[in-house]
Structures are given as structure tokens and as C-alpha cells.
């Protein structure tokens, strides 16, 4: 019976350490989560860059659409750099 006592103590200690390890892991002292603060920050900056790029593309698309619509309705723009004052007044007084 002398040999049984130390063996029981060993098993108790082993079980205790396993339970403590499980409790520590459950509490959150073990592995950290997937989204660490640095990963969150990188993701946030990436998303904001993508949103800015999409906004630029959308604005460029709208400007092109606007330009196309004006050209379609009014015809191509005319070069008015080399006209004299009389012709400018005449063009200004034209009614559509």
C-alpha cells in the first residue's frame, strides 16, 4: 500500500495541471484571436483605399457619361478661340 499512495498523488497532480491548462485556455490566456489589432488596422486601411478607388472610378464614369450626353444633345463643341467680337455676339444671341 505504500506504493499506491505516491501513484495516486501523481495522477491527482496530472489531472490538476490538465484542468488548470483547460481553464487558462478557456479564459483567453492561451492563443489570441484571429483579428489582432494590427490586422484590424491593416484591414481598415485597405478597405478605405478600396472605397476611395471605387469613388474615383464612379466619379470618372459619371463625368464621361455627362460629357457624352452633352455631346449627343448639343453636338461637338466648337473651337471659339480665334473668333472676333462680332461673331461672338452673334453666337451669344442665337437662341436654341
pLDDT (tens digit per residue) in 30-57:
556 788 889 999 999 999 999 999 999 9
Burial class for 19, CB neighbours closer than 10 Å (0-12, 13-18, 19+): exposed
pLDDT (tens digit per residue) in 3-35:
566 788 888 889 999 888 888 777 765 556 788
This prediction's pTM: 0.47
The answer to whether residue 92 scores a pLDDT higher than 60 is yes
Amino acid at each position: 500500500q505504500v506504493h499506491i499512495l505516491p501513484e495516486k498523488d501523481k495522477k491527482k497532480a496530472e489531472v490538476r495541471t490538465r484542468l488548470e491548462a483547460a481553464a487558462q485556455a478557456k479564459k483567453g490566456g492561451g492563443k489570441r484571436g484571429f483579428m489582432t489589432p494590427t490586422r484590424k488596422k491593416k484591414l481598415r486601411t485597405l478597405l478605405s483605399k478600396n472605397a476611395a478607388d471605387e469613388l474615383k472610378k464612379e466619379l470618372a464614369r459619371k463625368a464621361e457619361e455627362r460629357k457624352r450626353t452633352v455631346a449627343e444633345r448639343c453636338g461637338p463643341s466648337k473651337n471659339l478661340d480665334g473668333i472676333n467680337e462680332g461673331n461672338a455676339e452673334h453666337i451669344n444671341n442665337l437662341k436654341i
